[in-house]
Structure 1
Amino acid sequence: MTRSPHEPSGEPNPFRALALDRLRCRTSVKWRAYPDDVLPMWVAEMDVPLAEPVVRALTDALALGDTGYPAGTGYAEALAGFADKRWGWDGLAVERTAIVPDVMLGVVEMLKLVTGPGDSVVVNSPVYPPFYQFVEHMDRRVLEAPLGMDLRIDLDALEEMFRQATAGGRRAAFLLCSPHNPTGTLHTSDELAAVAALAERHGVRVVADEIHAPITAGGAEFVPYLSVPGAESGLSLMSASKAWNLAGLKAALAIAGPAAAADLARLPEEVSHGPSHLGVIAHTAALRDGSSWLDALLSALDDNRRLLADLLAEHLPAITYRPGEATYLAWLDCRALDLGGGADPADVFLRRGRVALSSGIPFGTGGAGHVRLNLATSPELIREGVRRMATALDRDGTGEGPGP
């Protein structure tokens, strides 16, 4: 599926709403993990105000004192409506959903349903670091099926890991990151159908983290894993968290394919106690009424991807950047930089340039020599971030950094 480039929504560019001095008043981890002289461009928080429908919903709830426990299916209904309008997917059945505290805790609960202690969970490295942390903490073994050189799923590598994971008749799962974090790769319908066929052949259960699903580049379309042929036994986690900057308002949805409904029905009742009622209210409002705001965001991200590509080509041409089709994250290959001694480029940029990026090392195999940069900020701060990166590599005082 494809979509046309983002049309103007009538909403202002949300990245231009807050100046740096206002952003530094925030108390979240992005703005408190480093000293004030560091420009933070690392963790997945966006430099935007909340969408007005979300503000209204939260304000009304607070005015009512509506701060109890979550109830009802409004969140699932809002996501089903959004999926139908946005992706042309009418297969999200509200009765096959469950509210979970957030996407990663939902991933943990889904993996508990389909695997046991000591079983293997396959991932496509380099991938979101909590995939390793959470899976290993729950006494499962991580097996890597690295992405190909084109940063897409390598089906041969995936099948080999499926064979290893299920050796001896053990249960196994594939934790799919879709869209992929950190590369921004948007998996196609054919790729996902091939994944489903491999999973069925080897008896591997697929759990899809689809938290970045609403954030696509112009001309690209997200394909829900559960919408492809053969994915009936899959499980998915979705939320409005990334697209509307709601990480601090905890709530997500677990979604089961038709053949996984019985698995989801075994989810312990106490899991539903974890989400925030205000989080559910916020996510529901975003999905129901926040599309115009989202369109403005997506258009601005298209501009930011182009801007970053131009700035890197001009000032840091040794860095390879393939703009992703999804997410607001940029995966930068810094291996051609002359850093010496195998230095981590994120450490160099922080120490010498006072710009904080995510190190590629925790993303697993294929991550070393890379950094992840958060594009969800103003054009001015992107320019300043690249300027600081170039300064960090400057050898002669020109500020232009090394050549290719």
Structure 2
Amino acid sequence: MRLRSCPCSSPRWTTASRPRSPTSLVARIRSSDLGYLDGPGPLAPAFSAFADRRWGWKVDPARIHLATDVSVGIVETLRLALPDGGRVAITPPVYPPFFELVEEARAEIAEVPLLETWGTWSLDLPGLEAAFAAGAGVFLLCNPHNPVGLVHDRQTLEALADLAARYDVLVVSDEIHGPLTHPGVRFEPFAPIAEARGARSVVVTSASKGWNLAGVKCSIVVAGDDRTAELLDRLNDEVACRTSILGLHANVRALSCTDWLDDAIDKIVANDRLLSQLLTEHLPGVVYHRPRAGYLAWLDFRGIGLGDDPALPLREHAYVALNSGLGFGDQGRGFARLNLACSPDTLREAVTRIASAYPASMQGSLVWRVA
């Protein structure tokens, strides 16, 4: 048996723990409601209501558009914003498809790596200003940030919005992990902050991560201001048409299942604590950058000497399959990503296997550890 961390970053809960959207889908199938879409329909008010309840963000349903998934929403927005190509700023280590999506939109990447200080990650605001001043027309914001689980605070987002307004940069914010923010941490949607400070923004999101609906082919693209609303009104009709009607109804149903979402977060947080404990006891040379949102664990293996791509020897010698840090950019060298959305026994088995394969890592190291 091999333990796997899903490449698409999807939870691995049991069937019994999944949200009860199948009832909704069965009803649609029985009524032969399997046609094509031309707009968000009931999903727009459903998301607007959820965003208001959860975050106090009052979204105008008229600003909400459909896309097949978040990646498609990003690409189609880039194509509208940079029809003749241009530069797009990203902040590695970051979700690997960001690199590919910029290339798909025939744009150039401007890398502005996250700053890391004693295990604390943050946006490099001076670096972003330099990239904006050098001509980057769009910034892809990962909020919360995958893979480090960073939830950007309001002060940081306000400073970013001021920079975007000053240089007239469109910020496209991927907020798919926002619903999975951990207790005691406040998630701030970027769009209302940006609009209040005169910046342009787009938010792309879906219920797919928070409610274990990856692959149902439905996401939303939200214009954060009037200028961007005019831009998104030019989206090709096929962007909505290619979205799954069953995915739409699954998203509508999921957004009302906040009790299920809260239970899923509780399980993730419990696994976060468990993994921290297991690493402290059995792998003290591995530094765990604990997430403040989502179910992704960013692990620093540099202290036990597994090379630039620790996922490779871990797979070959410990029979544990993690996501390679290399896909997240050069800043991922020596790192690997683990999926916390699994059985606690899976985490125990994974750490046991790694500790058995690399017993020297149990002797302790003079490294700092994130609390």
Seen in structure 2, the aligned counterparts of structure 1 residues 140 and 57 have a Cα distance that, compared at 3 Å, is same
User: Which range is displaced more, 228-237 or 248-257?
Assistant: 228-237
Q: CA deviation at 1:214?
A: 0.2
Report what 1:161 is aligned to.
Answer: 131
Report what 1:403 is aligned to.
Answer: 364
Give 2:301's aligned amino acid: C
SS in structure 1 at match of 2:159:
helix
Identity %: 40
Give 1:155's aligned amino acid: L
- Is residue 178–residue 208 contact of structure 1 (8 Å, CA) maintained in 2? yes
Residue 179 (1) aligns with residue 144 (2): yes
- The CA deviation string for residues 159-194 of structure 1, in whole angstroms up to 9 with x for no partner, is 11212234xxxxx10000000000000011111111
- The CA deviation string for residues 305-331 of structure 1, in whole angstroms up to 9 with x for no partner, is 111111111111111112111111011
Residue 143 (1) aligns with residue 110 (2): yes
- Is residue 302–residue 335 contact of structure 2 (8 Å, CA) maintained in 1? yes
Report what 1:196 is aligned to.
Answer: 161
SS in structure 1 at match of 2:302:
coil
Which residues of 2 match residues 12-161 of structure 1 at below 5 A?
Answer: 37-43=1-7, 44-48=9-13, 49=15, 51-70=18-37, 73-90=41-58, 92-149=59-116, 150-161=120-131
Residue 268 (1) aligns with residue 233 (2): no
- Is residue 65–residue 220 contact of structure 2 (8 Å, CA) maintained in 1? yes
Give 1:403's aligned amino acid: G
CA distance in 2, matches of 1:238, 1:231: 22
Q: 2:189 aligns with which of 216, 219, 224?
A: 224
Report what 1:277 is aligned to.
Answer: 245
- Is residue 70–residue 220 contact of structure 2 (8 Å, CA) maintained in 1? yes
Give 2:10's aligned amino acid: E
- The CA deviation string for residues 313-365 of structure 1, in whole angstroms up to 9 with x for no partner, is 111111111211111101111111123xx341110111111111011111013
- Is residue 75–residue 104 contact of structure 2 (8 Å, CA) maintained in 1? no
Report what 1:355 is aligned to.
Answer: 320
User: Which range is displaced more, 109-118 or 202-211?
Assistant: 109-118
Q: 1:286 aligns with which of 244, 254, 259?
A: 254
CA distance in 2, matches of 1:174, 1:162: 8
Q: 1:315 aligns with which of 278, 282, 285?
A: 282
- Is residue 18–residue 211 contact of structure 2 (8 Å, CA) maintained in 1? yes
Seen in structure 2, the aligned counterparts of structure 1 residues 117 and 369 have a Cα distance that, compared at 3 Å, is farther
Aligned length: 355
Residue 331 (1) aligns with residue 292 (2): no
- The CA deviation string for residues 242-262 of structure 1, in whole angstroms up to 9 with x for no partner, is 001111201001000123111
- The CA deviation string for residues 200-239 of structure 1, in whole angstroms up to 9 with x for no partner, is 1112111111111100111012110012132652111011
Report what 1:243 is aligned to.
Answer: 210
The normalised TM-score by structure 2 is 0.92
SS in structure 2 at match of 1:241:
coil
Structure 1 residue runs without a partner (length 5+):
1-36, 167-171
Give 2:65's aligned amino acid: A
Structure 2 residue runs without a partner (length 5+):
366-371
CA distance in 1, matches of 2:234, 2:363: 57
Residue 379 (1) aligns with residue 344 (2): yes
CA distance in 2, matches of 1:258, 1:327: 27
